[in-house]
Structure formats: C-alpha cells, structure tokens
Amino acid sequence: MSIKDEKAADLAGVLLEIGEPVIWNGQTFQALVSDPAIGETLELGGFTDTGDFTIKIPRTSFGAQLPKLGEIVEFEGTRFRIVRITNHPQYPLIVLVVGPLE
C-alpha cells in the first residue's frame, strides 16, 4: 500500500468518526468543516454579510464531476457559495472555501 493509499484510508476512518454532512449537487458528503465565521461589514447602503470557512471533502468521494466556483453547498441548513477551490493531485482532499450568498 502506498503512502497516498494509507492517507486516504486513514482519512476515511476519521470522517466516519467526526465528519459533518455537507450537501453539494444533491449529494451528501462527510466532510471536515472549519468553524464558520460569518459577520457583517458596514458598506454604502447598509450592512453586508462577510466571512468564509473551509469544507474539506475526500477526492475519492467525487466522481468525474467536481465542485466549481460559484456553486452552492449546504451546511447545517444554510446555503453558501463556493468562492475558492484547492484541488492538488497529491492531497487527498478537495478544499472548498465558502462564503455567504450575496
């Protein structure tokens, strides 16, 4: 078993224990989710929602279709927009940075 396979197997075990459900494209994924930090910023005309957090989902959880910028994910009953994606082939997770819908 390669080190990459060992990491993927260990990660699957961790997600079974502490993963949190995230919905993307009608599917539920077990993910590692950082603490959501959502706030408000005063701008011309009033307050605007700000903040972001990360959602990490194993690459092996996806088929041929991967999340894209601007798509929507749902976490704890709230919808968020994907604002950044990290997809490095040597890292076993797809990292989604999400923020409030605007």
Written as one string, the DSSP assignment of the chain is --HHHHHHHHHHHHHHHH-EEEEETTEEEEEEEPPPEEEEEEETTEEEEEEEEEEEEEGGG--S----TT-EEEETTEEEEEEEEE--TTSSEEEEEEEE--
Domain segments of the chain: what residues? 3-100
pLDDT for the residue 6: 80
Given the candidates 2.60.40, 3.30.160, 2.40.10, 3.30.1370, the CATH classification of the domain at 3-100 is 2.40.10
pLDDT by residue for the chain (102 residues), tens only, comes to 788 778 777 877 888 888 999 999 999 999 999 987 777 777 788 777 677 899 999 988 998 899 999 999 999 999 999 999 999 988 889 999 999 886
* pLDDT tens, position by position, 14-24: 888 889 999 99
pTM comes to 0.81
